[in-house]
Amino acid sequence: MSDDLIQSVIEAVPDPMLHLGPSGEIARANTAATQMFGTWIVGRSHDAVIRQPGLLSRIEAMQAGEGASEGRFERSDQSGVTQFKVRLTSLVDTGLLLHFTDITHLREAEEMRRDFVANVSHELRTPLTAVLGFIETLRGPARNDPEAQARFLGIMEDEARRMNRLVSDLLSLSRVESEERVRPNEDVDLHAVLQGVIAALRPGAEDAGNSLVLECGDCLGDGTSRIWGDRDQVMQVFLNLCENAMKYGGPDKPVRIFMAREMGTGLLKGPVLRVDVTDEGEGIDSLHLPRLTERFYRIDTHRSREMGGTGLGLAIVKHIVNRHRGRLRITSEIGRGTTFSVQLPAI
């Protein structure tokens, strides 16, 4: 293969590629490689550039006559660690080709999967351990104690319901994530959805002394509260947000829902419908705000579990809003409450 042909081939590849000459020097580098390593590498020995024993040993093995091989290469910079899979190919009498493929996203996905499995296992282990412990007690010391049996069965029911909520939220999250790239096309009246949310939550709100108040901006009139959406998912968003506001806002506190039609900004072009769900609770420290929509992230784990939270509600909200090409914004002030703002493109 001629020198010009080698250069043309590696330049046609968008990933970084290096051509090592027969003596181990870097004979050629494509544009992506010089952007990653610098232009100074051409003509230098490969071990002065790569400096990672695992990959260097693979290069030495290839130079000794082994067939095609793979190695790993990591590069650190201000944005973090980038991991590459390196494919090594021998060229007859002209050295080696090194093809660097960024696999950082695969590593991050694997880390997310491990964290997710660990979190689910932890969330299920606690109630399961409690239920098994109470079963053992009911078969033993409390066998002939009706009062203890009634108390333990009540706790077991609570733990079983908690596991049921967790499984339900996991299934809901999985379903929402699988549909996230499919844009919904149902004509939905958002004002009617919010009225349905209030009707569904009113009995519980009255028991807790909460008032649910829906207010609309002056510019909102008949036929101006429609969006392209999935009605059930939109309902789920505002059920989750209003239930959170009632739980963490505290008893005997109002929950205000405000809807207005306005012009979008940034990536949201054209008219949008904004819905603010505001409570008068303790507020949330700004340190926590960026992480609230992460799976299983809780500010107060014990309190959240006592209130029946699974740690997945806001993650589900985020994915549904993303599917509807909308935006979720959270603002809070310690001692004054929290506002969850959802913007959705209007028809």
Residue 305: predicted pLDDT: 64
CA dist., res. 226 & res. 276, Å (int):
17
Q: Which residues lie closer than 8 Å to 187 by C-beta, 6 or more apart?
A: 226, 228, 347
The pLDDT value recorded for residue 93 is 77
Quote the pLDDT of residue 219: 60
pLDDT at 177: 87
Question: Do residues 81 and 131 both lie within one domain?
Answer: no
Residues 66 and 116 in one domain: no
Contacting residues for 291 by C-beta, under 8 A, at least 6 apart: 297
Extract the tokens encoding 105. Answer: 């996203």
Q: Are 168 and 262 members of one domain?
A: no
Residue 229 sits in the same domain as residue 283: yes
For the chain, give the percent of residues with pLDDT over 90: 61
Helix, strand, or coil (residue 100): strand
State the pLDDT at residue 66.
81
Lowest-confidence region among 93-107, 112-126, 187-201, 249-263: 112-126
Residues 323 and 286 in one domain: yes
> In total, how many domains does the chain have?
3
Distance from chain centroid for Cα 32: 30
- pLDDT for 266 equals 84
Q: Which residues are CB-neighbours of 158 under 8 A, at least 6 positions away?
A: none
Model pLDDT for residues 260-273, shown as the tens digit of each residue: 999 998 889 899 99
Domain boundary among 142, 163, 178: 178
Tell me the average pLDDT of the chain.
90
- Asked whether residue 192 falls in the same domain as residue 333, the answer is yes
Q: Are 198 and 212 in contact (CB under 8 A)?
A: yes
Dihedral sign for Cα 164, 166, 170, 172, please.
positive
Q: pLDDT band for 221, please (50, 70, 90 cuts).
A: low
Q: Are residues 110 and 96 part of one domain? A: no
Residue 258 has a CB neighbour count (10 Å cut-off) of: 17
Instruction: Give the pLDDT confidence of 32-58 residue by residue, as tens digits.
Output: 999 999 999 999 999 999 999 999 999
pLDDT at 307: 64
Q: Show which of 79, 102, 125 is a domain's final residue.
A: 102
Instruction: Report the pLDDT value the prediction gives residue 178, as an integer from 0 to 100.
Output: 87
* Model confidence at 188: pLDDT above 80: yes
Query: What digits encode the pLDDT tens for the residues 124-172?
Result: 888 899 899 999 999 998 888 999 999 999 999 988 988 988 898 898 9
Which amino acid is present at 326? Answer: G
Q: State whether 142 and 196 are in the same domain.
A: no
Are 110 and 247 contained in the same domain? no
Residues 26 and 63 in one domain: yes
Residue-number span of the structural domain to which 264 is assigned: 184-347
Q: How confident is the model at residue 224 (pLDDT cuts 50, 70, 90)?
A: confident
* pLDDT computed for residue 123 by the predictor: 83
Q: What is the pLDDT of residues 311-321, one digit of tens each?
A: 899 999 999 99
Q: What is the CATH number of the domain that holds 129?
A: 1.10.287.130
Q: 202: domain CATH number?
A: 3.30.565.10
